[in-house]
Structure 1
Amino acid sequence: MKKIIITLSIALSFALPSYAFADQAACEAKAVSKDGKPLYGAAKDASIKKCMGDAKPNDCEAKAVSKDGKPLYGAAKTASIKKCEGGK
C-alpha cells in the first residue's frame, strides 16, 4: 500500500507541471491581435498573464489591509478579496 501511494505521488508530481504548461500553451495560442496576427513582446505577455488568471487568492488575502496597514476581518476582508479577484 505504501508503494502505491509513493508511486501515485511521484506520477502526480510529473503530471501537474505539464498541465500548467498546457494552459500556458493554450493562452499563447489565444494571444492574437484583433486582426488575427500573433502578439509579440509586452502585449503578448500581458495577454498570457490575463488568460492565466494572475490574481491568486493568496495574493489578494495579503492585500486585504486597511488604510492603517492592519489586516481586515469579516465582511470587509471578503469584499476586499472579491474586488481584488475581479468580482468572481
Structure 2
Amino acid sequence: MKKLLALAISLSFGFAAAPALAQNSQQSKMTTCNEQAKGKTGDDRRAFMKQCLSARASAKAGTQQEKMTLCNKEAAGKTGDDRRAFMSECLRKKS
C-alpha cells in the first residue's frame, strides 16, 4: 500500500512538472528572440518576433518530435527499406 501511495505521489509531481518545462522552453525562446531583436522597432520588430517565435526548423531541430515531423514530411512517397534508410539518415542529420 505504501509503494502504491509513493508511486501515485511521484507520478502527480511528474505530471505537474511537464507544463512548467514547456513554459520554461517558451520563456527561453522569448528571451532569445528578444535579444536578437534589439535595435529593431515597429513592424520590423513584430515581423521578426513572429518569425523567430514560430520557427520550427533550425540548423538543429529541437525536440525528437519536431525532428520526426520534419523527416516524415521529407520522406513522403518513400516506402519500405528506402523509407527506413532515409528516416535513419535524416534523424541523424537533424541531431
TM-score by length of 2: 0.60
Q: Counterparts of 1:27 and 1:62 in 2: how far apart (Å)?
A: 25
Question: Cα distance, 1:27 vs. partner?
Answer: 1.3
- Kindly report structure 1 stretches of 4+ aligned residues shifted beyond 4 Å: none
Find out whether 1:43 has 2:48 as its counterpart.
yes
Q: Counterparts of 1:13 and 1:37 in 2: how far apart (Å)?
A: 39
Unaligned runs of 5+ in 2: none
When the two chains are superposed, the root-mean-square deviation of aligned CA atoms in Å is 3.1
Report 1:1-88 matches (<5 A).
Answer: 1-32=3-34, 33-35=37-39, 39-40=45-46, 42-50=47-55, 53=62, 56-65=66-75, 69-71=77-79, 72-74=83-85, 76-83=86-93, 85=94, 88=95
Distance 1:26 1:80, change over 3 A: closer
8 Å contact from structure 1 (residues 31, 47) kept in 2: yes
Question: Cα distance, 1:70 vs. partner?
Answer: 2.7
Higher helix share: 2
TM-score by length of 1: 0.64
Length, aligned pairs only: 81
8 Å contact from structure 2 (residues 33, 53) kept in 1: yes
Between the two proteins, what is the percent identity of the paired residues? 14
